[in-house]
Chains A and B, each alone.
Chain A
Amino acid sequence: MARVASTRAKVGYTVAAWIVALVIFFPILYTIITSLKTEQEAIAGFNLIPSFTLSSFEAVQSQNNYWRPFTNSVILAVGSTLLALVVAIPAAWAMAFSPTKNTRGILMWMLSTKMMPAVAVLVPIYLIFLRTGLMDTRIGLTVMLMLINLPIVVWMLYTYFREIPGEILEAARMDGASLRDEILYVLTPMAVPGIASTMLLNVILAWNEAFWTIQLTTTNAAPLSAFIASFSSPQGLFWAKLSAASVMAIAPILIMGWFSQKQLVRGLTFGAVK
Chain B
Amino acid sequence: MGRITLEAVTKRFGDVEVIPPLNLDIEDGEFVVFVGPSGCGKSTLLRLIAGLEDTSGGRILIDGRDATDTPPAKRGLAMVFQSYALYPHMSVRKNIAFPMRMAGVPQDEQDRRIASAAKALNLTDYLDRKPGQLSGGQRQRVAIGRAIVREPSAFLFDEPLSNLDAALRVGMRLEISELHNRLRTTMIYVTHDQVEAMTMADKIVVLRAGNIEQVGSPMELYRAPRNLFVAGFIGSPRMNLITGPEAGRHGAATIGIRPEHIRVSATEGAWQGRVGVSEHLGSDTFFYVEDTGLADTITVRAGGEIDLHHGDTVWLTPDMGHLHRFDVQGSRMA
Contact = CB atoms under 8 A, between A and B. Distances in A.
A171 B73 contact: no
Interface stretch (B74-82, B259-267, B291-299): B74-82
B233 to A, nearest CB: 27
B229 interface: no
Interface centre among A172, A178, A189 (most CB of B within 10 A): A172
B2 to A, nearest CB: 15
B249 interface: no
A191 to B, nearest CB: 10
Given A170-B52, A189-B89, A190-B89, A176 B102 contact: yes
Nearest to B71: A173
Contact of A175 (B83, B88, B89, B102): B102
Contacts of B85: 165, 167-168, 170-171
B87 interface: yes
A176 to B, nearest CB: 4
Contacts of B48: none
Interface string B79-104: 10111011111100000001100110
B276 interface: no
A100 to B, nearest CB: 12
Contact of A174 (B78, B90, B103): B78
B50 A174 contact: yes
Contacts of B50: 170, 174
B160 to A, nearest CB: 12
A190 B89 CA distance: 7
B146 interface: yes
Question: Size class of A's contact patch?
Answer: 10 to 19
A189 B103 CA distance: 20
Contacts of A178: 73, 102
Interface string A143-177: 00000000000000000000001011011111111
Given A165-B83, A186-B87, A175 B52 contact: no
Given A174-B52, A175-B102, A167 B72 contact: no
Given A165-B83, A181-B102, A173 B89 contact: no
A176 B87 contact: no
Contacts of A170: 50, 52, 72, 79, 81, 85
Interface string B122-164: 0000000000000000000000001000100000000000000
Interface string B23-65: 0000000000000000000000000001010000000000000
A176 B103 contact: yes
Interface string A13-46: 0000000000000000000000000000000000
B88 A177 contact: no
B43 to A, nearest CB: 11
A185 interface: yes
A174 B98 contact: no
Nearest to B82: A167
Nearest to A168: B85
A233 to B, nearest CB: 53
Contacts of A189: 87, 89-90
A171 to B, nearest CB: 4
B146 A175 contact: yes
Contacts of A174: 50, 52, 72-73, 77-79
A167 B83 contact: yes
Nearest to B99: A175
Contacts of A186: 87
29 contacts: A165-B83, A167-B81, A168-B87, A170-B50, A170-B52, A170-B72, A170-B79, A170-B81, A170-B85, A171-B79, A171-B85, A171-B86, A171-B87, A172-B87, A173-B71, A173-B73, A174-B52, A174-B73, A174-B79, A175-B78, A175-B99, A175-B146, A176-B150, A177-B102, A178-B73, A178-B102, A189-B90, A190-B87, A190-B88
Given A167-B85, A168-B86, A173-B52, 13 more contacts: A170-B52, A170-B81, A171-B81, A172-B98, A173-B72, A174-B50, A174-B77, A175-B78, A175-B102, A176-B73, A177-B98, A185-B98, A190-B87
Interface of B: 50, 52, 71-74, 77-79, 81-83, 85-90, 98-99, 102-103, 146, 150
Q: For the complex of A and B, list the 4 residue pairs with the smallest distance between their C-beta atoms, beginning with the closest.
A: A175-B99, A171-B85, A176-B102, A167-B85
Interface of A: 165, 167-168, 170-178, 181, 185-186, 189-190
